[in-house]
Chains A and B, each alone.
Chain A
């Protein structure tokens, strides 16, 4: 098995490989890293811990100062066991969820009190069905079908209440009540944009929350106050800016103030910071050549990251004057990032790649830590659970769940 040899992306993308080329084809296997990253290989990858599937990254441990899980190591060297392969096997997902029957577009973890001990995972599929997975039994416990067969693009649990928001391409944003085993749509918002832009929620309190959705005009973003569904404002860029459609949204609020801001990634590759109350753009930075596909923001460090259809990952920061500045960009081997997510503890981030791979970076230093190869089609979304478990949904209809390490 030749491991570290990358494939030309064109061939890899083709999907179904012609078997005629099979015998000559270089065995690609799941890659650890692209060639640009070879220097950043984990120092000493180890065998996966059987059954728990957690792939431990020593480098990560070194960086993060996290203790290794105690493992049962073989005590006796004399035991006859199978020949240990020279190259360590690539990391495996902890497990894989199958059965969505169509591409997975959105993922969201629900942990804590609402899940009664065991976290649940929501997945939204191309066929418009939301599956609720129990991570304990690794099986779907329920399905929510409310988008008339149109793709579900975004899922979000409301904080402190057992309600789920799902955005579908049937121009509806549904609010589901999941308390006590119910699964009924209790409310819905009509959307006016059919694009792929995912919405964003900012909870201000138990009963009031703010929702940012793509607006009626192609370049507009609409802010709604929920649950009353009253429109707060419409954020429309100045006439001369022409950023194109909003591609991804992120509402946030500094801890010190109650002033809501909106980060929006646009079709022209720029990221803009909107002051929602004043309805104006505070700052805009152009960080990608291609449309921004996903962004995430760390409000504590005032730093964000965005991925685009191009080959770069951009990190930008926000200074005291609310100005966005590009800190750095990171070149990727293969173009196309469909989602970027920072882990809740703000230590690592994961990207969903069109090249079927999930990439993991160290958030502070942006050092590449791992490339997780499992899927056989582009990865559409990545999500982190509060306990650090990573899930990735892909066009190949599978959801892979990875345990990069269990938080101590």
Chain B
């Protein structure tokens, strides 16, 4: 706190000290003075300024060598005085300035005098304080041409310090001081802003130093990264402040062509620069080189603050000097754009702010030159993109693409104009297509099969939980980093957002059609274009941009969908031809039934892979093609939202078709596409989606059934649909079932297999939708259903030990389940014992009511089954037996329909039971058990006559074999058959109410199995009987 407030008091204190100092110039005296000064108030000090300064200046001016320590303390004291007072006289300012700068002057060298660092620092601080303490008017007067030599000395001195000094502190101080000296200080002490004329005068003055300052600073900036970021930051700031001031468009615009006669002596006039057009151009040219150097160096600078400063540099220069530095605009924009995706969030934010600012100010859009520069840069970048993508590492690729993205962002709505040039559009599209090339050598994708075709219904969880986690990564030829792909996606979306969608879609569609090589990439790009056009997930810098209208977007999506799902683009070869595979399956089918119930997903190695066409690569490529198109459909849905519902009539069927595809990847992607559609169109679940649009699906199915050879997958769609819908669908299903049956009638020979599985799905659905009240308590039914649904999913190669082991494990598990079910069903039976159908019959005794639709369907299906029972193909026979069992279940309450059909089916069933493959016998026996439960009386005689002797006989003949057999026997088919027969005969003879004689026969046959020599399980089964 100041003790001496009045000048008089202060003078009293200070006078002796000053006198002392004048007399003997020692460090102690100076320090003494400074100590006294602390106690003097600012106002008093201002009054006594000249007086106090005198001994100090006297000390400095004393000729002869001086001790550095003394000089330093004098300068420090001087600085202290100046910091608390202000300089009001021009002369004093000039003199102090010269005296201070002279402290570091060494007469014999260019370099600053070799003095201690403390002194240097003190002098720099002193200069800094001096400039700050100068009175507003004085300082302007100070900057007149005549000061030029002295100012020049100071500037070069400071530059030298900044460049060559070791101490970081000095360097920074020097740079700060330089900034002050060049009137670019950013502290608060300069309230008055300069008017135009003053600015111009200063500009003229500083123009002389521009070359020196800029080159020296460039050297500092591009120096070693290790020198510390703050130095580079300061240098950058001084650089752009100076350049921005001297080269400001605003000033240059007013410079007259003719040089005004300077009112100074000739020597100084020579130093002056006239900033006319020629000079600006030359300087601009030279600055480009420096700016390029700086940008190149700073872009890779490890410290984010440096990069942040670069953003400011770009902003400042582009805003102030867009015309004078027009040549530098390219590199500057490039730097800015490149920094948009900087790893540091601060830089990103600042960059985006600047970009937004530019967009608001229409710096780019409103400036033709900039647009041209940008489109030129874009063009050259697009040209070199493929090469860069080939040679750079992922980080490099990332920044290259960031650059591309940034250009597009900056161009914004101007993209349209750029792409009106065919050359630009082609360059960029070709580049994108090359970059997005997929790697299609992965065999796994072709190999993986989805046997588990009912996972759609098996997953009750909501669509969100299933999203994304299962989608296969795609492998690109040119990059592996996921971020690169995201960037590319963003690029495409931006294009769609700003560009003329019609033009772009048309162009990429052409590429899509042009060659199969481009097709996948073009489809990927098209997908993103549409999303972008809808304005989704696009960063919009240009607020007032008008988006593509929804109407147009819908039109475009419609036509894209049409192309995607057209025959030649949708039905690509993604696996070995179906017929071949079916042959293969036939060969392996004998094993399949054994393992029914065991849920395996085995990869089948196709011998046909060695075939020359189609190659694995082309199949892989086709798979990706389909996946991308599927993904596209989901993107379209996303883009259109609820409006996509209208397009479901054409889109849903193909997607569902692919959901049933054998290639795992395709079915996964198709499923996630459906989930995407669900979300976009606001359906609750996949079931909801399918249910609500089943009319569209049925339409597709019935039309495709007409061209079965072209649409071999139709039946799968129906299967998927049946699995995912409920009884409300029945009228529609009834309609399409008629078509199915009619088609089946035409293709008994060739395509029965796929139809039988549809029929199976149908009957399973019917049995679920219309559960009969008198549902049987036999475990076989449950078994039958389960096995049936697994039947077509499991496929085995050959009998290996593992298979058998797996089978047994599965079997045991299943058996437990089955036994558990027995209990459940027993209790159910008691509760629901009254069949309601009887009541209806009572009330309408005369008129025969029309059959319920499901009964009619089951009846029709059962009729077909009767014929198919004798199909040549074992696999079909097995499936048909399953379907037959289900038919019986559905028809059980309509005996009038059921019994005639059973009568017709009987001979052929008996044939299966007696003269067929053991597998078929097994299955037929299960059907028999079901039948026994449903229409016991009707079958009793037939059973006793046709089947029982044979069964009992085979049991008897097998008994010695099984008695002798070792433990491996329990893994054989014969064992399984024995077991099933033994287990089934009991309930069967009960439900058939067999006569005593027949019962005896059965009992005799079973008795043998009670022998201890028999396998334990057989014993158990027999005992239970």
A binding-site residues for B, Cβ under 8 Å = 1, 17, 19-20, 22-23, 25, 27-30, 47, 50-52, 72-76, 78-82, 85, 89-90, 92-93, 95-96, 98-99, 101, 136-139, 374, 376, 397-398
Return chain B residues, CB-CB under 8 Å to A23.
Answer: 748-749, 867
Partner of A81, one of B509, B515, B568, B863: B568
The answer to whether A98 touches B513 (Cβ under 8 A) is no
Return chain A residues, CB-CB under 8 Å to B867.
Answer: 19-20, 22-23
Q: How far is the CA of A125 from the CA of B874 in the complex (A)?
A: 46
Return chain B residues, CB-CB under 8 Å to A22.
Answer: 744-746, 748, 864, 867
Q: Could you tell me the distance in whole angstroms from the C-beta of A104 to the nearest C-beta in chain B? A: 13
The answer to whether A95 touches B622 (Cβ under 8 A) is no
B binding-site residues for A, Cβ under 8 Å = 509, 513-516, 519, 561-563, 565-568, 571-573, 613-614, 618, 622, 646, 649-650, 695-696, 698-699, 702-703, 706-707, 709-710, 731-732, 735, 738-739, 741-742, 744-749, 863-864, 866-867
Return chain B residues, CB-CB under 8 Å to A50.
Answer: 562, 565-567
Q: How far is the CA of A82 from the CA of B742 in the complex (A)?
A: 25
Contacts A92-B706, A98-B698 supplied; 9 other A-B pairs, CB < 8 Å: A19-B864, A19-B866, A30-B706, A50-B565, A80-B613, A80-B618, A82-B572, A96-B702, A137-B646
Return chain A residues, CB-CB under 8 Å to B741.
Answer: 19
Residue of B nearest to A75 (CB): B513
The answer to whether A72 touches B735 (Cβ under 8 A) is no
Return chain A residues, CB-CB under 8 Å to B613.
Answer: 80
The answer to whether A136 touches B748 (Cβ under 8 A) is no
The answer to whether A51 touches B698 (Cβ under 8 A) is no
Return chain A residues, CB-CB under 8 Å to B561.
Answer: 51
Residue of A nearest to B703 (CB): A92
Given the interface contacts A82-B710, A99-B731, does A138 sit within 8 Å of B699 by beta carbon? yes
Residue of A nearest to B739 (CB): A376
Return chain A residues, CB-CB under 8 Å to B622.
Answer: 80
The answer to whether A138 touches B695 (Cβ under 8 A) is yes
Q: Could you tell me the distance in whole angstroms from the C-beta of B608 to the nearest C-beta in chain A? A: 15
Residue of B nearest to A81 (CB): B568
Q: Could you tell me the distance in whole angstroms from the C-beta of B856 to the nearest C-beta in chain A? A: 10
The answer to whether B571 touches A81 (Cβ under 8 A) is yes
The answer to whether A76 touches B709 (Cβ under 8 A) is no
Return chain B residues, CB-CB under 8 Å to A80.
Answer: 572-573, 613-614, 618, 622
Q: How far is the CA of A397 from the CA of B735 in the complex (A)?
A: 9
Partner of B746, one of A27, A47, A95, A137: A27
Return chain A residues, CB-CB under 8 Å to B563.
Answer: 72
Q: How far is the CA of A376 from the CA of B732 in the complex (A)?
A: 15
The answer to whether A96 touches B703 (Cβ under 8 A) is yes
Return chain A residues, CB-CB under 8 Å to B703.
Answer: 92-93, 95-96
The answer to whether A81 touches B573 (Cβ under 8 A) is yes
Given the interface contacts A17-B745, A19-B863, A51-B566, does A98 sit within 8 Å of B516 by beta carbon? no
The answer to whether A74 touches B706 (Cβ under 8 A) is no
> Binding site of B, secondary structure by majority: helix, strand, loop or mixed?
helix
Q: Could you tell me the distance in whole angstroms from the C-beta of A98 to the nearest C-beta in chain B? A: 6
Q: How far is the CA of A22 from the CA of B863 in the complex (A)?
A: 11
Residue of B nearest to A138 (CB): B649
The answer to whether B650 touches A51 (Cβ under 8 A) is yes
The answer to whether A72 touches B566 (Cβ under 8 A) is yes
Return chain A residues, CB-CB under 8 Å to B731.
Answer: 98-99, 101
Q: Could you tell me the distance in whole angstroms from the C-beta of B195 to the nearest C-beta in chain A? A: 65
Residue of B nearest to A50 (CB): B566
Q: How far is the CA of A47 from the CA of B732 in the complex (A)?
A: 28
Complex A-B: 11 CB contacts under 8 Å? A1-B746, A19-B866, A22-B745, A50-B562, A52-B562, A78-B516, A81-B573, A89-B706, A89-B710, A92-B707, A98-B731
Residue of B nearest to A26 (CB): B746
Q: How far is the CA of A51 from the CA of B698 in the complex (A)?
A: 15
The answer to whether A398 touches B649 (Cβ under 8 A) is no
Q: How far is the CA of A75 from the CA of B509 in the complex (A)?
A: 11
Return chain A residues, CB-CB under 8 Å to B614.
Answer: 80
Q: Could you tell me the distance in whole angstroms from the C-beta of B636 to the nearest C-beta in chain A? A: 14
The answer to whether A82 touches B573 (Cβ under 8 A) is yes
Given the interface contacts A27-B746, A101-B731, A138-B699, does A376 sit within 8 Å of B710 by beta carbon? no
Residue of B nearest to A95 (CB): B699
Partner of A85, one of B562, B710, B735, B744: B710
The answer to whether A79 touches B710 (Cβ under 8 A) is no
The answer to whether B745 touches A76 (Cβ under 8 A) is no
Return chain A residues, CB-CB under 8 Å to B572.
Answer: 79-82
Q: How far is the CA of A321 from the CA of B647 in the complex (A)?
A: 55
The answer to whether B568 touches A51 (Cβ under 8 A) is no
Return chain B residues, CB-CB under 8 Å to A92.
Answer: 703, 706-707
Most B CB within 10 A of own CB, among A17, A51, A90, A93? A51
Residue of B nearest to A93 (CB): B703
Return chain B residues, CB-CB under 8 Å to A89.
Answer: 706-707, 710
Return chain A residues, CB-CB under 8 Å to B735.
Answer: 98, 397-398
Most B CB within 10 A of own CB, among A47, A50, A138, A139? A50
Q: Could you tell me the distance in whole angstroms from the C-beta of A397 to the nearest C-beta in chain B? A: 7
Q: Could you tell me the distance in whole angstroms from the C-beta of B727 to the nearest C-beta in chain A? A: 16
Q: Could you tell me the distance in whole angstroms from the C-beta of B325 to the nearest C-beta in chain A? A: 48
The answer to whether A79 touches B709 (Cβ under 8 A) is no
Return chain A residues, CB-CB under 8 Å to B742.
Answer: 17, 376
Return chain B residues, CB-CB under 8 Å to A78.
Answer: 516
The answer to whether B738 touches A376 (Cβ under 8 A) is yes
Q: Could you tell me the distance in whole angstroms from the C-beta of A332 to the nearest C-beta in chain B? A: 23
Given the interface contacts A22-B867, A25-B745, A82-B573, does A75 sit within 8 Å of B515 by beta carbon? yes
Q: Could you tell me the distance in whole angstroms from the C-beta of A171 to the nearest C-beta in chain B? A: 26
Return chain A residues, CB-CB under 8 Å to B864.
Answer: 19, 22
Given the interface contacts A23-B867, A89-B710, A90-B706, does A76 sit within 8 Å of B513 by beta carbon? yes
Residue of A nearest to B517 (CB): A76
Most A CB within 10 A of own CB, among B509, B562, B739, B746? B746
Given the interface contacts A95-B649, A99-B731, does A51 sit within 8 Å of B565 by beta carbon? yes
Residue of B nearest to A29 (CB): B746
The answer to whether A99 touches B646 (Cβ under 8 A) is no
Q: Could you tell me the distance in whole angstroms from the C-beta of B704 to the nearest C-beta in chain A? A: 9
Partner of B568, one of A17, A30, A79, A397: A79
Q: How far is the CA of A136 from the CA of B648 in the complex (A)?
A: 12
Q: Could you tell me the distance in whole angstroms from the C-beta of B961 to the nearest C-beta in chain A? A: 39
Return chain B residues, CB-CB under 8 Å to A93.
Answer: 703
Q: How far is the CA of A22 from the CA of B742 in the complex (A)?
A: 9
Q: Could you tell me the distance in whole angstroms from the C-beta of B952 to the nearest C-beta in chain A? A: 33
Q: How far is the CA of A60 from the CA of B748 in the complex (A)?
A: 37
The answer to whether B745 touches A82 (Cβ under 8 A) is no
Return chain A residues, CB-CB under 8 Å to B513.
Answer: 72-76
Residue of B nearest to A96 (CB): B699
Q: Could you tell me the distance in whole angstroms from the C-beta of B523 to the nearest C-beta in chain A? A: 13
The answer to whether A98 touches B746 (Cβ under 8 A) is no
Q: Could you tell me the distance in whole angstroms from the C-beta of A394 to the nearest C-beta in chain B? A: 12
The answer to whether A76 touches B710 (Cβ under 8 A) is no
Return chain A residues, CB-CB under 8 Å to B748.
Answer: 22-23
Given the interface contacts A50-B567, A80-B613, A80-B614, does A19 sit within 8 Å of B745 by beta carbon? yes
Residue of A nearest to B704 (CB): A92
Q: Could you tell me the distance in whole angstroms from the C-beta of A130 to the nearest C-beta in chain B? A: 19
Q: How far is the CA of A78 from the CA of B731 in the complex (A)?
A: 44
Partner of A76, one of B515, B739, B866: B515
Q: Could you tell me the distance in whole angstroms from the C-beta of A108 to the nearest C-beta in chain B? A: 22
6 closest A-B pairs by CB: A75-B513, A22-B745, A50-B566, A89-B707, A27-B746, A23-B748
Partner of B562, one of A17, A72, A75, A139: A72
Q: Could you tell me the distance in whole angstroms from the C-beta of B678 to the nearest C-beta in chain A? A: 19
Residue of A nearest to B516 (CB): A79
Return chain A residues, CB-CB under 8 Å to B514.
Answer: 75-76
Q: Could you tell me the distance in whole angstroms from the C-beta of A78 to the nearest C-beta in chain B? A: 6
The answer to whether A47 touches B515 (Cβ under 8 A) is no
Q: Could you tell me the distance in whole angstroms from the C-beta of A224 to the nearest C-beta in chain B? A: 39
The answer to whether A51 touches B745 (Cβ under 8 A) is no
Return chain B residues, CB-CB under 8 Å to A374.
Answer: 706
Return chain B residues, CB-CB under 8 Å to A19.
Answer: 741, 745, 863-864, 866-867
